[in-house]
Structure 1
């Protein structure tokens, strides 16, 4: 979908440069489930990109998105002498063009799935607002970049085995486990090489297996290297080359806080991999959980538990990385 959206902009952009019309419009007709001319892309005379959704239902209120860089209104627009009622969604800030394309892809997919124009707009804008509210700048903290790098290292190993295996990745959506497929869960950890290797556990449930499921831990030890061949954008490109559902993957990346518009900034964080290691989290795996407290009762005064585990003391739980990949492959 994102590629189709990009193609529409590439059609409109050269026309816009020489046009004096208020709108330059191009129909989006990539699916037989969309009625002809029900979805129109446009670039206005201020060079702002947008979408027109034909909608005769004037009763449904449009979302209050709370973003000064996005305009959503109902407007009657005459095209080739025929006036129609549209929902008009306009991106007012060029720096948000990538996020805007994500929004459009979601709106269009909901329309294809049968949603009304107003419902598709409301649901998509609400999703985008939640994602943008988590972002305070073009890049997250360094520890989050390192964490995403570790996740992508594992995902690349998966898609080398089978291209669809990345779909178990749900960490960006704040799921209880970073990766879930069939009866297997995996927690991802990554850290820079510094002294004794260790991981930080952020809550009591992170290393707690779910009943009837197997839990594994995958850890990447990285070292900063300006000439290294590992970075978030480089791993993304390698993964995208191997998978079919590129749009779904890009949407998940966006949820993780990644934007290709800032690819050069992300690529400045380069690493080399020192070690990749996998562990099976069994009942005797060292961790703090509810059973660690008297009567399995956590004192009310404790609101957050965060602790470190030294990896060099986990050798009895270590398994081959290939064995973990094979287990996931066989479980699908």
Structure 2
């Protein structure tokens, strides 16, 4: 029986079983290589033993690629898992390629030495459209948070709460926008609520321009910096996970951006915006649920920060 056929049979058995389980892949064991198929209450998939401290934690669609200690197996594994059985046979094909050691074990060694390279190649091939925020957008919010935290330890980063604004203090709200377009000076507003001013608060727009550079900073490094300043690490990691960058995400560790400009705009009566109050009755017209628009920032009052 081939490696692929064995995986398909095991996945079919997993689908019809309500219990968790783990099975050695016989086609690999016969050739002196390790490999398991497993199922728990959340997912099913395959894995290979993985030693060392490196953390891997990538995902897209319903597929996950991560390192994890499997208590019922007694070892740390590099896992490739899915949560949906609808495409179990297609997923089995990817799993077979993942587990296949290759000639003289060359493919297995490549995955062990650089697990991120395998993931990058396959996710690109499968058309990975990331739903999480861009690295520089997350860095922008973190840098804005750092700036405000230096003068007000009560500032809240609201990424996890998905509030209308990115940062909040008792008397102020802050919306953060980032770009890598050096000569552009405009922002995209995603809804009629994004520039709405909350009662008894003022609203400022913090605009940051980045460029990708080896002299820049990563999300990982910025997270360490915030924790050293006194930020709660658990809360910080919740926000980063919510934005698509849990610990072990390759882009979080590797992608570097340098700030080239930071500008703050007061969102007051002179700032161009479309909000509910612009419409009769303080609400959008019937059958319109959301408005997206672009604001040109040239000529608006601002200050550097």
Moved more, 299-308 or 232-241: 299-308
Alpha-carbon distance, 1:218 to partner: 0.8
Query: Are residue 151 (structure 1) and residue 141 (structure 2) matched?
Result: yes
Between the aligned partners of 2:241 and 2:67, the Cα distance in structure 1 is 12
Between the aligned partners of 1:277 and 1:147, the Cα distance in structure 2 is 15
Which residue in 2 is equivalent to 1:269? 255
Equivalences, count: 196
Between the aligned partners of 1:140 and 1:201, the Cα distance in structure 2 is 20
Query: Are residue 248 (structure 1) and residue 238 (structure 2) matched?
Result: no
Alpha-carbon distance, 1:288 to partner: 1.0
Which residue in 2 is equivalent to 1:177? 165
TM-score by length of 2: 0.55
Alpha-carbon distance, 1:236 to partner: 1.2
Going by fraction, where is helix more abundant, 1 or 2?
1
CA contact (8 A) 1:196 1:310 kept: no
Between the aligned partners of 1:201 and 1:301, the Cα distance in structure 2 is 20
Equivalences for residues 80-91 of structure 1 within 5 A: none
CA contact (8 A) 2:182 2:209 kept: no
From 270, 279, 289, the counterpart of 1:284 = 270
Alpha carbons of structure 1 residues 267 and 291: separation in structure 2 relative to 1, 3 Å: same
Gaps of 5+ in 2: 1-34, 46-63, 72-122
Between the aligned partners of 1:239 and 1:213, the Cα distance in structure 2 is 26
Query: Are residue 314 (structure 1) and residue 304 (structure 2) matched?
Result: no
Between the aligned partners of 1:94 and 1:198, the Cα distance in structure 2 is 37
Runs of 4+ in 1 over 6 A off after TM superposition: 136-139
Q: Deviations over 1:223-272 (max 9, x none)?
A: 222x132221221121122115222222222222222212x432432222
Which residue in 2 is equivalent to 1:51? none
Gaps of 5+ in 1: 1-45, 48-63, 70-92, 101-135, 322-332
What do you get for the CA RMSD once the two structures are aligned? 3.4
Alpha carbons of structure 1 residues 242 and 308: separation in structure 2 relative to 1, 3 Å: same
Query: Are residue 212 (structure 1) and residue 183 (structure 2) matched?
Result: no
Corresponding residue SS for 1:204: coil
TM-score by length of 1: 0.51
